[in-house]
Amino acid sequence: MVEPQSSLLSVLRDHLKLTGTKEGCSTGYCGACTVLVDGEPVNACLFFAVDADHRSVTTIEGLSPERGELHPLQSAFIESGGLQCGFCTPGMIMSALGLLLAHPAPDEAAVREALAGNLCRCTGYQSIVAGVLEAAPKVRGADAAPARKRARSRA
Ligand code: FES
Ligand code: FES
């Protein structure tokens, strides 16, 4: 149960203690609070928690395939040097994942457009874009693997 005026961000961080999602501006400007709702990126600071009722919410904590393992986007950000202080990183990764779910093989311009609402105070944009492009084929593979497994188990 949540207050009707509670933001999704406050419920995630303060009630559920999922502090991977960051609070930056609280006004929809920085993108630090980006999560996926039904697979689409939203600014959790502007999204009423009650509007997430009966919908799927994915935060950065939900990306690891297994405990202790990293999602391909997380690995690619590390390998490309796409994070410095790391404050913007969860939001960047969730926006990138939203893009890759909708467009599995984006070009650089599409990546830049998808991340336009995410600000990095450390200004690591070049490396961030490189990381997303590097991760795209691996994310396609990661999505396909469970589908292949399901198909095998049905056979
Ligand atoms: Fe939500 Fe900045 S904290 S957009
Ligand atoms: Fe520091 Fe982006 S890595 S704000």
| Domain residue spans of the chain | 1-155
133-146 pLDDT, tens per residue? 999 999 987 754 44
pLDDT band of 151, cuts 50, 70, 90: very low
* Token pair belonging to 13: 């961080």
pLDDT of residue 141: 74
pTM: 0.90
Nearest ligand 1 atom to alpha carbon 25:
2
Cα of 7 to ligand 1 centre, how many Å? 11
- Looking at all shown ligands, the one closest to residue 120's CA atom is 2
Write the CATH number of the domain with boundaries 1-155: 1.10.150.120
Tell me, using a 6 A CB cutoff, whether residue 122 lines ligand 2.
yes
Q: How far apart, in Å, are the Cα atoms of 107 and each of 73, 86, 103, 112, 140?
A: 16, 24, 9, 9, 15
Q: Across the chain, which distance is largest between two alpha carbons, in Å?
A: 50
Tell me, using a 6 A CB cutoff, whether residue 65 lines ligand 1.
no
6-53 pLDDT, tens per residue? 999 999 999 999 999 999 999 999 999 999 999 999 999 999 999 999
